[in-house]
Chain A
Amino acid sequence: MSDAASFPQAARISVRNAQLRGNLRHATRTIRSKRARAVAELADWDRLRAAGAAIKDRTLRHLDQYLEQLEAAVTAAGGTVHWAVDADEANRIVTRLVKATGEKEVVKVKSMATQEIGLNEALAAAGIRAYETDLAELIVQLGADRPSHILVPAIHRNRTEIRDIFRRQMGAWGRPAPEDLSDSPAELAEAARLHLREKFLRAKVAISGANFMVAETGTLVVVESEGNGRMCLTLPQTLISVVGIEKTVPTWRDLEVFLQLLPRSSTAERMNPYTSTWTGTTDGDGPSEFHLVLLDNGRTDTLADQVGRQALRCIRCSACLNVCPVYERAGGHAYGSAYPGPIGAILTPQLRGTASALDASLPYASSLCGACYEVCPVAIDIPEVLVHLRERVAEGGSVTRNGARVTIRPAKGHAAERVAMRAARWAFEHPRALRAGERLAARTRRAHPARLPGEPWSASRDLPVVPPEPFRDWWQRTHGGKEAK
């Protein structure tokens, strides 16, 4: 990842992609207004939101206890729990579990955690083919593409592009698309259905994530719209779920809050079409073998940071992406991880650190307009965390890495800025020096051009005209306008 383009570099290209901008603009605006309506229906939304945040905070505070409770409950229900400290370990565990079944294919339920760790690639390296079964994930997989949205991974594609991908690629992965496939949504969905059905009926192993894990009963919950998840969770013999440790909630009752917050925030539905829950294994019903891989991968370190830890409340609804003006223009790929948009800008630099140019640029990928915080169903103050992470990038400081406190140095490329900020602070502490500077600018004003070559501001905007006299001079000269003007 270290050689990946920084956010501004990637965005410079995507912002000029008119097709992408058009697709994103249309899609995010549609979801945006639907969400606003779905949320406005509930008179107690603010209280639900506060409850969601409070449940998550309480759980995170005692996460060690809840995880042990969860492990005991899953084990008692016939499942096996594995602990993965990082992506490599999680991938090794899953690969070993699949190999043990003797299978060479797995079906997958859409999952952020497995994208985060690059599971499909790890399985491919071990000769195992993973089939994505969520429609949008299928489009991404067939197009040899990367997801660009949490909920709608192929949001950057339009219908015509999807039809072309299906026609070109489906055959290489299984049942081909009909030759005369049109770009009508019904025909596209039917082609996907027929293609996927073969996979569901053949699969012996499924891999999923989970939206929630209930500690008291060891129950996992997947919330979805298409029913592909239900197929994967019930038909195969072996089910392996890879879940971030922060997905834990203490009790079933807590789901009452989240199952209202999540669908309204993500798909703008009162209730999502499919909610699957499973607890260990049940004889003669569903998978006979169940493995839960609990993924840390930077989460415990994130939990150690008082300001940053609120990012772990996230329920991946994607509302923050849909309202984000920066996401809308830059697109999801510019964020360089499984987590695009505002949540990615605060989560990735915490999970992965800020060592690479990309990760160090993410906290700055925001105008701090606050639209994300306003819609977040668990009230994550994303602007606050962004500014907090900017501080880490600009000034370095003490962070937790792999469980140990370490002091990190400021990221590269901030030395000049640091000097400028110190100089500005000095001037602001010395009003007389400030005034001298202002006067100098005023006196040379006629020489100031409206644009400066090679300077990022004036590439697209004229510079303001410096007035003949700063306010403080006017005030002093006229005693606040009481004397001659």
Chain B
Amino acid sequence: MRVALFITCVNDALYPGTGRAVVTLLRRLGVEVDFPAEQTCCGQVQYNTGYRRQTEPLVRRFATVFTEYDAVVTPSGSCAAMVREHYPRIARRAADEDRDGELAELTGRIVPKVYELSEFLLDVLRVEDVGGYFPYTVAYHPTCHSLRLLGVGDRPTRLLRAVKGLDLVELPGAEECCGFGGTFSVKNPDVSAAMGADKARAAVDSGAQVLCAADNSCLMHIGGTLSRRGGGPRVLHLAEILASTEENVS
């Protein structure tokens, strides 16, 4: 099985540690991932802000770059959702509007092969216990796109529960949006900040030492809010917790 890592633009530039953790974790599980250097961005921000046609070249690039792989793993629920939920839609519209009749076929081939990390671990590799060690209390924030668009369900918490030393505690109001929403956070800064403040308070109230999610953009928002507020748990991507071992605690 040829597996490629789709790092996503945010992780590439701001959270390379998450990418390194995915590589380490999968290697530990016997999977060598490849990193096609021509990959860039899934186009989610452009698409969600109303620039659908601007995303078409990025859709095409993604479909082309990853075409030869059997599986594409990404440590981002919302980027995986962008590909799985919106690429087919974008391709259909491109054909309807007589701009690109080929895109549908290209995306049709790639879409079923794209997995968010927890899906890949549980559905493809069929492991629940990834052999991790993480001696902290952890609260899990199920980011909206993982939860409602992808429907990852309890996959991330099943993985977390199997990690040695990890104590999973409940996050109050877990399923509520943290208020990031991409450009929403700058177009509606006051509402976004109010939502972020409530999420940060819930994270503090959970009593956890670490707040975990499968999406660094949401963690950037919650973590930035927590850091401004002072105190509270540190934020960490699911991949980094799963990659953590007794020799090398994240």
Contacts and interface: CB of A to CB of B under 8 A. Distances in A.
Interface residues of A, number: 67
Nearest to A472: B12
Interface string B174-185: 011101111111
B38 A428 contact: no
A30 to B, nearest CB: 14
A366 B181 contact: yes
Contacts of B67: none
Given A7-B188, A366-B184, A428-B40, A467 B52 contact: no
A464 B37 CA distance: 24
B158 interface: no
Contacts of A425: 43, 46, 51, 54-55, 57-58
A405 to B, nearest CB: 14
Contacts of B61: 428-429
Interface of A: 7-8, 11-12, 15-16, 21, 325-326, 329-330, 361, 363-371, 373-374, 384, 387, 389-395, 417-418, 421-422, 424-425, 427-429, 431, 434, 438, 441, 450-451, 456-464, 466-467, 469-472, 474-476, 480-481
Contact of A457 (B39, B144, B186): B186
A434 B40 contact: yes
Contacts of B181: 366-369
B24 A481 contact: yes
A422 B47 CA distance: 12
B51 A373 contact: no
Contacts of B57: 425, 429
Contacts of A15: 190-191, 194
Contacts of B43: 425, 428
Interface stretch (B117-125, B130-138, B201-209, B222-230): B222-230
Contact of B193 (A387, A427, A460, A462): A460
A475 B7 CA distance: 11
A8 B14 contact: no
A373 B20 CA distance: 35
B195 A329 contact: yes
Contacts of B197: 460
Nearest to A364: B187
Nearest to A327: B191
B30 interface: no
B11 to A, nearest CB: 6
B162 interface: no
Closest 5 CB pairs of A and B: A367-B181, A390-B50, A461-B224, A394-B50, A369-B177
B166 interface: no
Interface residues of B, number: 71
Given A428-B9, A429-B61, A459-B193, A371 B177 contact: yes
Contact of B224 (A374, A424, A462): A462
A370 B145 contact: yes
A424 B224 CA distance: 24
A476 B37 contact: yes
Nearest to B65: A431
Contacts of B153: none
A431 B12 contact: no
Contacts of B224: 457-458, 461-464
A460 B47 contact: no
Given A367-B144, A395-B51, A456-B186, A461 B225 contact: yes
B16 interface: yes
Contact of A364 (B176, B184, B227): B184
A472 B148 CA distance: 30
B160 interface: no
B220 A421 contact: no
A371 B173 CA distance: 13
Contacts of A16: 190
Given A325-B195, A459-B193, A462-B228, A368 B184 contact: yes
A307 to B, nearest CB: 9
A418 B51 contact: yes
18 contacts: A11-B191, A329-B194, A330-B191, A364-B183, A364-B188, A365-B188, A370-B149, A371-B177, A390-B49, A417-B49, A425-B51, A427-B40, A429-B61, A431-B40, A457-B186, A464-B224, A474-B19, A481-B27
A363 B11 CA distance: 28
A229 to B, nearest CB: 34
Contact of A464 (B35, B52, B220): B220
A156 to B, nearest CB: 16
Contacts of B161: none
